[in-house]
Copies of this chain bind each other. A is one copy, B any other.
Amino acid sequence: MSAESPIRFGILGCAEIARKISRAITLAPNATLYAVGSRSIDKATAFARANNFPPNARIYGSYDALLDDPDVDAVYVPLPTSLHIQWAVVAAQKKKHILLEKPVALNVAEFDRIVEACESNGVQLMDGTMWMHHPRTAKMCEFLSDANRFGQLKTIHTCFTFAADPDFLKNDIRVKPDLDAHGALGDAGWYCIRAILWANNYELPKTVVALRGPILNEAGVILSCGASLHWEDGKVGTFHCSFLSSLTMDITAIGTKGTLHASGFIIPHREKEASFSVASETGFDEFVTSWVPPPSDHIVTTDLPQEALMVTEFSSLVGIVKSGSTPEKKWPILSRKTQLVLDAVKASIKKGFDPIPIEY
C-alpha cells in the first residue's frame, strides 16, 4: 500500500466519536482525512478545524453533498443507529466504502439491506469494533486457540459498564428510542456479545436468554441488562452491560485447561500498552494454600492505538478492492452475528425472559 495513495475519508456527521476516528485516520499510514459533511456547514467547518483536517479538506453542509464527491473513497458513519439503514445504503450506492459505527442497525433485517447494498455495489463494509484490531486481541486469541494451554472453552463472562452522567441519561442519543434504540445493549453490550462470539471462534449460540431485571428508562430504552448465551455442548457465556455503573470492561474466558482475564479489553487502560493475564494447567500446592503456577501477566505494546489500526486494516481492504478484488466478507459476517444475538436479547426481554433460538 505504501506506494499507493492513501484512502480518502469522508466523515458523515460531527458526532463526538468522530473526533477519535478523525485522529485515527490522521495516524493511519494509508488513510487521509479528506471531507466532512454535516447538516450544518458551520458545525462541519468547526469540526474540520478542531480535528486537524488538511487545509484543502472539503466541507459539506449535507451528507448527500459529501456522498456526491467522487474523490471520497470511504465514509465513516457515526450517525445514530436509526439512520444507518438510510445513509449506509445511499453511501454504498454512491460506491463509498463504509466504516460503520456499532451497533450496525436497528435489527438484522435492516443490516441485511445494508450488506446487500454494499455487495451489489462492490464496496467494503466494516463495523467500528476497535478492540478487535488491538494486537493484544491477537495475542489473547493465540492463547484461546491453544489446545494445550487453554483447551476447549467452557464458559465466558464479559461486562461493559460506565456511569453516565445525568445529562447523558436525559439527552444523549443513546437513551432516545428514535435514535439509538438499543441503549446500553447497543452501546456497551455490543462489545460484550462480540467478545463472547470471538472467544467461541464466532460459532453462534443455540439459544439466548436475557437475565431478569433489566433497567429501562421511561421511553423503554435499556439502561442496564444482561443475558446468557448457550451452546449445544453446554458452553455458557454471560454478559452484563450498563449505563448506570462505574467504568468496567472485563473479560474472563475459562477453558478446560486455562483461563484468560483482561481488564479494559474494549479500551485499554493506556493507549500504547495493554495487559491480560493467563493461567494454564494451574493447581495448588500440597496444603492448597497457593496456586502452582500462579497466573502470569502479559503486556502488549502498540505504536498505533487500536482505532488507528482499525482504520489501517479497513483502508488496506479498501485498497485491495480498488485494485480489482472483491470486498472481504469476514467483517460484515461478524457484524451480522453480533446483531443477531443483540436482537435475541431484546426479544427475550420482550417475551418475559424466554430463551430465544438463534438461526443464522
Residue positions of A touching B, CB distance < 8 A: 17, 19-20, 23, 150-151, 154-155, 157, 159, 161, 163, 207, 209, 211-213, 215, 224, 226, 228, 230, 234, 236, 238, 240, 242, 244-248, 250, 252, 254-259, 261, 263-264, 267-271, 277, 279-285, 287-291, 294-295, 305, 307, 355
Looking across the interface, which residue of chain B has its beta carbon closest to that of A153?
B245
Flag if B291 contacts A244 (CB, 8 Å). no
Q: Chain B nearest CB: distance from A112 CB in Å?
A: 28
Shortest beta-carbon contacts, A-B, top 10:
A269-B294, A154-B245, A245-B254, A248-B259, A271-B289, A271-B290, A269-B291, A247-B282, A213-B230, A246-B259
CB neighbours (8 Å) of A161 from chain B are 154-155, 254
Flag if A267 contacts B291 (CB, 8 Å). yes
Other-chain residue from B207, B212, B267, B282 in contact with A289 (beta carbon distance below 8 A): B267
| Total copies of this chain within the assembly | 2
Flag if B289 contacts A305 (CB, 8 Å). yes
Q: Chain B nearest CB: distance from A78 CB in Å?
A: 12
Tell me if A's interface is mostly helix, strand, loop or mixed.
strand
Flag if A256 contacts B245 (CB, 8 Å). yes
Interface-central residue, A267, A285, A355, by most chain B CB under 10 Å: A267
Given A155-B240, A247-B279, A267-B289, 12 new contacts (CB under 8 A): A154-B224, A154-B242, A154-B244, A154-B245, A211-B228, A224-B234, A226-B236, A246-B279, A248-B279, A261-B263, A263-B295, A269-B295
